[in-house]
Amino acid sequence: MKTRILGKDGLKVSAVGLGCMGFTQSYPPYPDRKDAIETIRKAVDLGVTFFDTAEVYSYGKNEDLIGEALQPVRDQVVIATKFGYDLSEVPDLNTSARPVSLSSRPETIRRAVEGSLRRLRTDHIDLYYQHRVDPNVPIETVAETVGELIKEGKVLHWGLSEAAPATVRRAHAVCPLTAVQSEYSMWYRKPEVELLPVLEELGIGFVPFSPLGKAMLTGRFNKSIKFDKTDFRSVIPRFQGENLEHNMELVEYEEKLAKQKGTTPARMAIGWLLAQKPWIVPIPGTKRIERIEENIGGAEIELTSEELTEIRRHLDGIEIFGGRYPEDQERMTNL
């Protein structure tokens, strides 16, 4: 597996990581715990060293799973997790499915880091993201609090998720950021406009989640696909009705590209992302080892400057219809 560096402080990770949310939420059916642990450990055997989870995923259950799976190889991997919600609002983490509030108050962050360390079975978090910007807490206060955790050795590097470029600048000025994560793929290219130039200027790495467009860029779906109500995609506007039918133009183009390169759509999509900047590290999510094998193969895709120019020209001519989140969630991004 090829490796890449995130940030000026030199966080070394596999060129393709693994987004772990789907093991316990949003994309059923979920594997049983034994099978999930086996899959995660096989990912390590394949060369994946970068694993992404969050405190709020299944209210700690996802972190607990990742912690058990990676405990035997803890010194070989980089674990990224996230804070930013107040889980003290949930009286029973084992049974409740109620939503929780954004909170990045210093006391909430400190409570969150202790819970994450315990569930992850570790004494430090390699990369600690603010999951969503809290409009009620100045980002400078958040940066100062995480800076204290770094001095204490509980956190090694930190980052932001779904933050606006101006917020990135303010946070970085207080405590240098290693990485920012947001959605980015052929399916969603907004970060190219303002965010990526800022990250390049400041020397901050970028970690795209949903690099396969929530599986739309894998070649698995057609315009007739219907998602079960338990599947997160069932409430995302761009996966609905006429929006989906229109958006298949991009999917069909990407599948054509893959065929021309003699590869799979998933590998084509990841290879394209990796070709954009050397400090981009996608974290495709999957629960199946064969998908992990396919996804990491994207690191082997080579695209010439001519090919990249032609792809960009074609993508610029395709408009994607529908939001990438339900409206209430969209309001929590780019703050």
Q: Which residues are catalytic?
A: 57
Measuring CA to CA, which residue among 51, 16, 56, 47 is closest to residue 36? 51
What residue type is 72 in one-letter code?
Answer: P
Nearest CA to 281 out of 114, 121, 126, 55 is that of 126
β-pair partners for 79 = 51
DSSP codes of every residue in 247-272: HHHHHHHHHHHHHHHTS-HHHHHHHH
| Distance in angstroms (rounded) separating the CA atoms of residues 15 and 298 | 9
Which residue, chain included where needed, has tokens 């590209």?
A: 257
Pair of tokens at residue 185:
């793929």
How far apart CA 132 and CA 136 sit, in angstroms, is 12
How many angstroms separate the CA atoms of 318 and 294, rounded?
Answer: 26
